[in-house]
Amino acid sequence: MDNAWEHNQHRSEEWMGEALQGRRDKVFLMTKVCTQERDRKVAMQQLEESLRRPKTDHLDLWQIHEVVYDNDPERIFRASGAIEALDQAKK
């Protein structure tokens, strides 16, 4: 089940949670972090919200949304970049 933090002004994750009540163990659930600054702190805040809204304790896949600009990889992989949040969440 695909989702993203910013879809439908954050409502899509809530709708997903409603639809998955009693079925969470039967789906592969993913969402995406949508921090424009590509930083760890905002990514972790979004992760907490992305767990709360669909009422789950884990995601099966968490991705970085819209890596489309030439400098996105540099920003994502810098110290305190979003990749640190993905690594922290995995642990």
From first to last of its 91 residues, the chain has per-residue pLDDT tens of: 788 877 788 789 999 999 999 999 999 999 999 888 999 999 999 999 999 999 999 999 999 999 999 999 999 999 999 999 999 999 9
Question: Which pTM value belongs to this model?
Answer: 0.88
Q: Which residues pair with 30 in a beta bridge?
A: 61
Pure H helices in the chain: 11-20, 40-52, 72-77, 82-90
Taking the C-alpha atoms of residue 89 and residue 70, their distance in angstroms, rounded to an integer, is 26
- Residues found in the chain: 91
